[in-house]
Amino acid sequence: MPIDPVGGTTNPARQSDVALRHAAQKLEAHFLAEMLKGAGLGQTSESFGGGAGEDQFASFLRQEQAGQMAQAGGIGLAEAFFEALKETEHAK
């Protein structure tokens, strides 16, 4: 059995919860990125824009900002996703 970095042995259920929480957070980040896209974040301005290069990298900016938002607590979707995933996992 692997050793937990804080001491003791690693609990398989705890490892599963950590993985599920990470997946839920990523799902919320993707949702937030789409919402930011819909809100127009990263769109080039008509008068003075960065051209095609700015358009290409705007999605990276949105995704990173959405990831940071989700890590900071987001809008609560990650917790709902986590609970749903955990329920599904325990039903197996």
pLDDT at 89 over 90: no
pLDDT (tens digit, 9 = 90+) per residue, 8-36? Answer: 556 777 888 899 999 999 999 999 999 99
Domain ranges of the chain: 53-92
pTM, to two decimals:
0.73
Which H or E element spans position 90?
A: helix 77-91
75-88 residue pLDDT tens = 999 999 999 989 98
Distances (CA, A) of 36 to 8, 14, 57, 68: 42, 33, 14, 13
Q: What is the pLDDT of residues 29-67, one digit of tens each?
A: 999 999 999 998 777 666 666 677 777 788 899 999 999
User: Is the CB of residue 24 less than 8 Å from the CB of residue 79?
Assistant: yes
CB atoms within 10 A of CB 92: 4
